[in-house]
Structures are given as structure tokens and as C-alpha cells.
Amino acid sequence: MRPTTKDLAKAAGVSLATVDRVLNERSGVRKKTVDAVNEAIDRIGFVRNLSAANLARQRIYRLAFVLPEEGDEFLGALRGNIDEAQRSFALQDIAIECITTPASDPYRTAKIISDLQGQGFDGVAVMAPSSPQVRDASLRLSHAGIKVVGFVSGQQSQGDIGFVGIDNRAAGATAARLLGRFTVDRTGSVLVITEAMQAQDSVERRLGFDRVLGANFPNLVALPSLETHGRPDRTRTIIENAFTYHRDIMAVYVMASEGRQALSHLAKMECDASRVVVAHERTAFTEALLRDGTLDAVIAQSPGHLVRSAVRTLRARIDGNEPIASQERIRIEILIRENLV
Amino acid sequence: MRPTTKDLAKAAGVSLATVDRVLNERSGVRKKTVDAVNEAIDRIGFVRNLSAANLARQRIYRLAFVLPEEGDEFLGALRGNIDEAQRSFALQDIAIECITTPASDPYRTAKIISDLQGQGFDGVAVMAPSSPQVRDASLRLSHAGIKVVGFVSGQQSQGDIGFVGIDNRAAGATAARLLGRFTVDRTGSVLVITEAMQAQDSVERRLGFDRVLGANFPNLVALPSLETHGRPDRTRTIIENAFTYHRDIMAVYVMASEGRQALSHLAKMECDASRVVVAHERTAFTEALLRDGTLDAVIAQSPGHLVRSAVRTLRARIDGNEPIASQERIRIEILIRENLV
DNA sequence: GTGTATATGAGGTACGTACCTCAGTTCAAA
DNA sequence: TTTGAACTGAGGTACGTACCTCATATACAC
């Protein structure tokens, strides 16, 4: 049986009241007594029973996810998993809310994040394009005692602000290796399509991609990234132009997480069956393309894992614990037709 | 705020004592009253506060992992993660024990599993080669009210006995696809090495492997599986013989989860750099081989995820809940040098 | 209507912790 | 030595649930 506060009081030679004062960092205890209690905690291996503590203090953890308002399937999957988490974590006294921001406007996004202070949140997961405004707003929240993690995209961890998501440079590198090996020794160029290169994620992915392609596949030359800006017409035009001007495109890397438009166009063109196409994120759409052979591989991160990991990380930080590192490391998954399960 | 038993009593128009009798399925309540309480549960959305309940009943969940005594790095990783789980789940009143069985002796293994009954366990995860003896022992445990799941290897789910692990047929298929695409159009044979083909896992992997290789890569012919039986001398002999008799080996598939011996031999031979090698499980050893290029890809399952998933699944089944399907589906991971993180 | 078994209610204690009050102690400064 | 502030202890209630006892209510058979 685990030692209780009562055991701890006995071990430290003080009363329950004093143990309580020390554990909850209340004032009015001499340093010497505090030390004695802490020593006893180590000695007998006391660990606070968080269930009982939360029961007693009627605590609920209030968490918020800050998400961009626009996005297609991957964002939808995240939202769906947040809904699911809402239900399953409710049993553990964790209340989750979703807050939407205009991703393209860093000022309003930062304002929304700042305004979270004073609303009673214990932790916030922020998914927003990195910008000085957003970064400062996050840091302010953090200094105000609210735990903050970057979520999926935007800057990696910084100061007290952790990050839950993949290493996008490694993701780009992974894409390059697969694409290179699948393309074999054929010589030609690689089309790289993204939504907007000002996004930090795209920059990282491109860096990783170029590094591995350059170092290992001299037969392939990656073209400058084409940016769709999420506009269907533009997407179509740039892809068609690319194929007109570059007749030696051996492979396509759809770098954006939301690559539906670009992929539908590529699928419709369906010219050379041997052309290698790699994209990001598992959605019903990319699954279908993997199955029909349009896509050769998908680099993915599990939205369910992302959401649960963010919740657990925030919860651990609120409780002052360390999250389990191995559980919270988001894997860069490689999906091909056979391991869609 | 979630409704409590008190709210439930009010809503059902009965006393707390009756609510308690219904919730804990004690006798002495008219069917009509039971129905009224259940109706009220649905109506107000009452969910039992499990933390409070476990606190009150001083309950600890006692779980056991039944593991084979022999095995190398992957089994070691599982053991390590069980240790970690032991610590982290202790905070959630889950006590985990590890029990070792002689994997090669189905009778003694079955006996050990049977003997678990009456030792106060609430749930057991069994990792053992599938055999009628083990299956029956597991079923008996299950009928005795102890929740049982198959773990990692052995038979997939059956009756009340669930399974925590990957679909090995899909894993073999995944290996075939990668190996085939990496080998390109070169013609030749594929060496398949395993520990023992009587293991269910090996059979499944081989089936999936052959299906995909046969359907998609007619240029490659998979040789009959070579069995190492875990013996270093034998491993060496069969590999050397294989390369002597088959001069056209283009690729090697090390199918066993514990492929260290075979892989070290292959690494030492290091003949043709273009030969494709695919193996299973992520260990320090396979990681190193991926990095130095000996291995082209590793098909893996996360030992940490496996262990936590088994614990959560057992706990959910003990509580009579459904586990979160998406969280408990173990992914077939594809690892290459770039996504080792 | 009485007896009896069954059903239900009322109220208690407990789990481990939080948080409160009040009385009592210690210790240093005046 | 007294004064006052800082510290400590004793004991309470509460959280939501489990589990116990005892008294009362209801139903049914006779």
C-alpha cells in the first residue's frame, strides 16, 4: 500500500496540518520543518494520490485547443479527435474547449491567445503559424502560469513552451528518401507543391527534403516549391504549367498537410504510372489514393495521438510532473498501401 | 458538473442506498426499481466517478504479463517498458507483475497460466506461442472472470480473449512491398530468414509477404523460409549455404522479431551494397544497421505502445468499458534512416 | 388481520486529500 | 519578563463512492 499523508506526518514527526501546509506550499511553516517533511517524502517514497486530491479540491483541468478556422481534412481529423478526447478525458476531470483563430492574421490570433488569460484555463495547446505576435502572446500566457504547448505546426519548443508534433525536417527527409528510392536511378526533376512557403512547417520540410535528396539522389533535381495558397484555380494552373515546362518530372512531393486540391489534380492527370508521388497526412482521401496507386507513400502523424499527447503533456505540466517521453514522442509514420491496417 | 449518485437518487426517486445497490448489482432490489434507476442513469447522463469509487473500495487492479523467458532485444524492450509502466500506472492504482514461462514447452506454459487463477489477478496479458494448451488455459482464466488478452504474438483474438499487437499478415505484406520497390526491376531471389516456422507469427508474416510479392513483383522469387532456431552456428551455416547455392539473391527478409544473429552475419558479409535487407523491430541494433545502410527498412511495432495498450485494454475490460479503438490499434511502423527521430 | 419475507430508506464510517478554524506552543525582540 | 508574531497541532467538514447496519415500508400468503 502506498504511504498516505498520515504516514508522512508520522514519518516527519509533524501533524497532518503541517504536512498539508508543506504539500500545498502554504505559508507559515519554518524552513527547517519544510525540509524535514521533504526529507520524509523521499525517505518513505510518498506520492500524492492525485485522484483523491482532485476529488477533494473538486478540481477540473480546463484546457483549450487554439486551432485555425480554415483547413480541410487533416484539421477536421484533429477536431474529431478533440471531440473524442473531450468525452474520454471528461472522466478524468479534464474539460477541453476548442477556440478558433483566423490563421492568416497573426495580430488577431495573438489577441485571441492573450485573451485566454483570466478565463480560467490551466493549459492551452496552440496551433498557429509561427509569428512574433503569436510567440509573444504564448510566452505571456506561460508567464501568467498557464501551461502552453505548441501543437502540430508553428514553432518548435521555446522556453517554457513545449511542442507536441513531429520534427518536420525529419519528415521532409523521410519523404525524400522514399521518393528517391522509389524513383530508382531515373534522371529527372521533382515537383514540390506546398500551400505557402512562409509557413514554418513548409520551410522545415523543404530543408530536410533537399538535404537528403541532394546527398543521396544526384539523379533527381527538386524544382522550386510551388505555392497553391489554398486556391483551386491557382493550384490547377501551376501544376499544369509545371508539367508543360518540365517534361522530365519523375516524382511529386506534396508537402502541404492539406494537399487535397493538388492531389486531385494529379490524380486526374494520371499520366505516367511510374511517376512517384509522396504526400502528407492520412485522410480518407489519401488512403483512397494509396489504395488505387496514385500515391506511393504518405508521411503521416496520428491526429489521435497528437491530441491525446497534448492533453497528457499539459496535464502533466499542470501537475508538475514529467510526461512519459517515449509516449509523447509523435512518430513520423510512413504509410503505404499494405500498412493502412 | 457531472451528476453524482446523490443526483441520481433524486432523479430516480429512490434513496442513495438503493442507487448503490443497483450500481453495484447487489441483491434485494425489485426489477421495477432497478429499471427506474437505469432509466434515470440514461436520462441524466450519470457516469460513475471511477477515481472516487476506487478510492472508496481501496481497489488496486492486479495485472500480470506472461512472457517467454528467452528472447533478445525486442523482448528486453518489452520488459523495460513493463517496468516503466509499473511505475507510471502505480499512480492509477494498477499493479503489474511479470511472469516468465518456458516458451518452448506449451504444457508448462499452460500450467503457469492456469495457476494464475486464484492468485487475485484481475487481468492477464499472455505472450506465448499459440498452442491448444495455452489457448485452453487462457479460455479457462477468462471464464473464471479474469480478463485475458493475447499480447504481441500467438493467436489473434478469440472469444472473450482480445489481442494487443499487430496484424502480422499485413506486416509481412508491408515488408514485401518495400522490399519489392527498393529492389526495382532486378530479377533474382529473396532470402527469407526466420526463427521457426511453427510460430504462428512467422506463418502469418510469410503469407502476407508471399501474397504481395507474388502479385506485384514477378521479377522476385522468394526462397523457402530458413529457420535459425535461435542457434548461432546454425544461423551461420544456413546463411552461408544459401548464398553459395543461390547466387542471385537480390534481397533478404529477416522475418523473426529477434533477428540479431542473422543480421550480424549479413552485416559481416556485406557483399553487394545494392542488396535490399528488411527486418523487424526497432532495437539499438537494428537502428545502427539502418544508419550504416546495412538495413534498408525495419517493420516495427512500438513496445511502449504495446505495453500501455495492453494495460489500458485490460483495465477498460475490467471496468466494463470499451477501450478507445483508435488508441489501441497498434501501428505497423515503417522505419528508415530518416524517421528514426 | 397477522405473520413473514422482501424492499427500501436513513444514516453511519471509510478511502486520501484539501482546506478551514482555533487553541496552543515556540522564539526572538523589546 | 513580557509581548507579539510566527509556527504547529488538533480536529473538523468536504469531495463521490462503497459498504455496512438497522429500522421501517410494502407485498403477499395464510
List pLDDT tens digits, range B48-72. 999 999 999 998 999 999 999 987 7
Phi, then psi, of B197 in degrees rounded to 5: -75, -10
CB B148 within 8 A of CB B124: yes
**What is the Cα A99 distance to its own chain's centre?**
16
pLDDT tens column, A28-85: 889 999 999 999 999 999 999 999 999 999 989 999 999 999 877 899 999 999 999 9
Q: Which residue type is seen at B193? A: I
Q: Among residues of chain B, what percentage have pLDDT more than 70? A: 99
Q: Is the pLDDT of residue B292 over 70?
A: yes
Once rounded to an integer, what is the mean pLDDT over residues B99-119?
Answer: 93
Residues of B in contact with A333 (CB under 8 A): 331, 333-334, 339
Restricting to B residues 320-339, those with a Cβ less than 8 Å away from any Cβ of A are 324, 326-327, 329, 331-339
In chain A, the largest separation of any two C-alpha atoms, in whole Å, equals 83
Check CB contact under 8 Å for A334 and B334: yes
Q: What is the pLDDT of residue A184?
A: 83
Q: CA of B31 and C1' of C1: distance in angstroms?
A: 29
3-class SS shares of chain A: helix, strand, coil, % to 5: 50, 20, 35
State which H helix or E strand residue B267 sits in. Answer: helix B260-269
Q: What is the pLDDT of residue A187?
A: 93
Instruction: Kindly report the pTM of this predicted structure.
Output: 0.93
Option in A184, A296, A304 nearest B184 (CB): A184
Once rounded to an integer, what is the mean pLDDT over residues B271-298?
Answer: 90
Size (chain B), residues: 341
Q: CA of A23 and C1' of C16: distance in angstroms?
A: 14
Check CB contact under 8 Å for A208 and B338: yes
Q: What is the pLDDT of residue B231?
A: 87
Strand D and A29 CB separated by under 7 Å: yes
Query: What band does B45 get if pLDDT is binned at 50, 70 and 90?
Result: very high
Restricting to B residues 162-201, those with a Cβ less than 8 Å away from any Cβ of A are 167, 170-171, 173-174, 176-178, 181-182, 184
Residue whose C-alpha is closest to residue A22's, from A7, A37, A12: A37
SS3 A16: helix
Kindly identify which residue of chain A lies nearest to residue B337, measuring between CA atoms: A174
| Residues 115-134 of B, Cβ under 7 A from nucleic strand D | none
The Cα–Cα gap between A253 and A270 comes to: 15
Restricting to B residues 263-322, those with a Cβ less than 8 Å away from any Cβ of A are 296, 302, 304-305, 308
Torsional sign, CA A310, A312, A316, A322: negative
Residues of B in contact with A174 (CB under 8 A): 336, 338-339
Q: What is the DSSP letter of A338?
A: G
pLDDT mean values, one per 10 residues, chain A (341 residues): 92 93 91 93 94 93 94 90 94 93 92 93 94 93 94 82 95 97 91 88 95 96 92 90 91 89 80 84 94 94 96 94 90 97 81
Residues of A in contact with B176 (CB under 8 A): 338
Q: Which nucleotide is nearest to B56 (CA to C1')?
A: C15
The Cα–Cα gap between A77 and A282 comes to: 9
Residues of B in contact with A2 (CB under 8 A): 90
Torsional sign, CA B6, B8, B14, B16: negative
Q: Which residues contact B132 (CB under 8 A, 6 or more apart)?
A: B106
Torsional sign, CA B100, B106, B111, B114: positive
Residue that is written with C-alpha cell 494537399 in the block: A259
CB B331 within 8 A of CB B303: no
Size of interface A-B (CB pairs under 8 A): 110
CA distance B269 to chain A (A): 23
A82, A338, A340: best to mutate for the B interface, most B CBs within 10 A = A338
Q: What is the pLDDT of residue A302?
A: 96
Q: Is the pLDDT of residue B16 over 80?
A: yes
Q: Does B47 touch chain A (CB under 8 A)?
A: yes
Residues of A in contact with B298 (CB under 8 A): none
Q: Does A104 touch chain B (CB under 8 A)?
A: no
Check CB contact under 8 Å for A308 and B327: yes
3-class SS shares of chain B: helix, strand, coil, % to 5: 50, 20, 35
Q: What is the pLDDT of residue A270?
A: 61
CB-proximal positions of chain D, under 7 Å: 6-12, 14-21
CB-proximal positions of chain C, under 7 Å: 6-12, 14-21
Once rounded to an integer, what is the mean pLDDT over residues B265-277?
Answer: 78
Q: What is the pLDDT of residue A170?
A: 97
Once rounded to an integer, what is the mean pLDDT over residues B25-46?
Answer: 92
Q: Compute the half-sphere exposure of residue B162: CA atoms within 13 Å on the CB side of its CA.
A: 23
pLDDT tens column, B118-166: 899 999 999 998 899 999 999 999 999 999 999 998 877 788 899 999 9
